[in-house]
Structure 1
């Protein structure tokens, strides 16, 4: 892989690229989301969700290709541009979040089976389940925790 660089988000100037990455990733992996719910979430990314987390941006050749967001030891978001999936970017972002931000938990849409498999493969275990997402939408969440020694 060309040089992958992880860096803190550069404030609002990164927002358009991160929203585009989110949309690419969600279109590729969240086919269970209704168009209305997807568009509603997207409207709130830059204004509400990004400012609530510590964002790390993954770049290849100076171009953002993924990002993660962490708050209080919880991985609140991790999205990779659909054209860059499978290149180790998600693993690099997750490893950094675990090592530098003490991430130990993540909530994952149960219907996003590739993400569930990603976290299971990297040492997380399911510790609970909710019938709805954090906004009360009908998308079950799996609550996962990094297993001891994970």
Structure 2
């Protein structure tokens, strides 16, 4: 079940965030994420967060306006539709979604491409010095009238 974030979810969300960053970004010194842990912990509640709760938090998506500030799934629940379901939840709320993805994180790039995102531009992340891609998805919202979708 996808639901809104609760304050009680913070420790699990942060554990998934740290583990996910260390696994997906092996090209970045793990100390970078550990050094930013407390800052992210403070900023998390400022975003709109949705969590996948399957007898505990298994993944989350953080959204600031229409920007996906984080999408992380517990390793044991990856490739089971959790990430897709979280992105779908975000698509229900926004006409456009943006996300930055490190160029070396080909798994994430392929995932976002599979969710109808396109690569818009490339830049260098100022904090890590790593190339990253800006990806965008324009969401079509269909109005349902009876059995028809407009």
Normalising to structure 2: TM-score of the pair? 0.86
Among 75, 80, 84, which residue is 1:82 paired with?
Answer: 75
Corresponding residue for residue 133 of structure 2: 142
Output the CA distance in 2 between the equivalents of 1:147 and 1:15: 30
Give TM-score scaled by structure 1 length.
0.86
C-alpha deviation, 1:102, in angstroms: 3.8
Runs of 4+ displaced beyond 6 Å: none
Larger Rg, first or second structure (1 or 2): 2
Over 3 Å counting, the alpha-carbon distance change for 1:51 and 1:103 in structure 2 is farther
Deviation at 1:147, TM superposition (A): 4.9
The equivalent of 1:6 in structure 2 is 2
Q: How does 1:26-41 map to 2 (within 5 A)?
A: 26-41=21-36
- Return the offset for 1:96: 0.5
2:65 to 66, 72, 89: 72
Paired with 2:34 and 2:95, the residues of 1 have a C-alpha distance of: 31
SS in 2 for 1:104: strand
How many residue pairs are counted as aligned between the two chains? Answer: 141
User: Structure 2, unaligned stretches of length 5 or more?
Assistant: 141-150
Contact preservation (8 Å) 1:70, 1:101 = no
- 2: distance between equivalents of 1:104 and 1:51? 19
Gaps of 5+ in 1: none
Distance apart, 1:20 and its partner CA: 0.9
RMSD: 1.8
Measured in 1, the distance between the counterparts of 2:57 and 2:96 equals 22
CA distance in 1, matches of 2:28, 2:75: 16
